[in-house]
Amino acid sequence: MSSSPKLEDDLRAAIIAKPDAILEDRDVMHALIAANERSMGGNIVDLRGIAMDRLEARLDRLEDTHRSVIAAAYENLAGTNQIHRAILRMLDPTEFEVFLRDLGGEVADILRVDAIRLVLETAQSGEDPAIRRLDGVLALAEPGFVDRFLTQGRNGQPRQVTLRQLQKGSERIYGSSADYIRSEACLRLDFGNGRLPGLLVMGAEDPHQFTPQHGTDLLAFFAGVFERTMRHWLK
């Protein structure tokens, strides 16, 4: 009598009726391949099995890449929606002071940042009482401050969007919150010919929220809208 195990008639009939179900089941195929290798013994090189292992590894890598691409697409879509919502909220106010307060409040909440500061360069001395009322959002600086802050003493032209990680935020920008800021997005603002530049800074306690490896397209778009909105207020 043969010592090889026999399939039950019902199981054999089910496999013959639906062979595709076997081929599509990864665990079953693994078991069949392993059984085939055992039956051939250790002295036989199964080239087909090696090829299948390599194809399976390649398929796993392709699936990982596919999942990464989908995750990146969803993240980009979520970021786009976030920027759009922030812009729509930013366009609502009809008074400049409300506009700035919303910037540090609801707009910051939508963008999920811990602080937003607007820095305006000015050659005028003295402080307007309105500036003190908006101390948590608006700050004035001497001409040249924006570019120095962006380049941090290094040569080269400042970019429109600068993302960086920090050990500690600038006290001049963040005030008492500076100790908690671990990353920031700096948006250089151009208000048009004859006007000094400005700076919009978004600070986060999360050191990975803004890093140089992140894309800047959405923030550049936000900066462009913000520039045009500010030009309206500065008329």
Q: CA gyration radius for the chain?
A: 30
> Pseudo-torsion of CA 40, 43, 47, 48, nearest 10°?
10
Yes or no: domain 80-233 corresponds to CATH 3.40.50.10210:
no
- pLDDT band of 16, cuts 50, 70, 90: confident
- Per residue in 140-186, pLDDT tens? 889 999 999 999 878 778 899 999 999 999 998 998 889 999 999 99
- Per residue in 19-51, pLDDT tens? 777 777 777 777 777 776 666 655 555 666 666
Interatomic CA distance for residues 71 and 52, integer angstroms: 28
Smallest Cα–Cα separation from 210: which of 227, 178, 187?
187
* 198-204 sheet: strands from edge to edge: 138-141, 115-121, 198-204, 183-189, 161-165
Domain ranges for the chain, please list them.
9-62, 80-233
User: Reduced to 3 states, what is the DSSP secondary structure of residue 188?
Assistant: strand
* Tokens found for residue 93: 């106010």
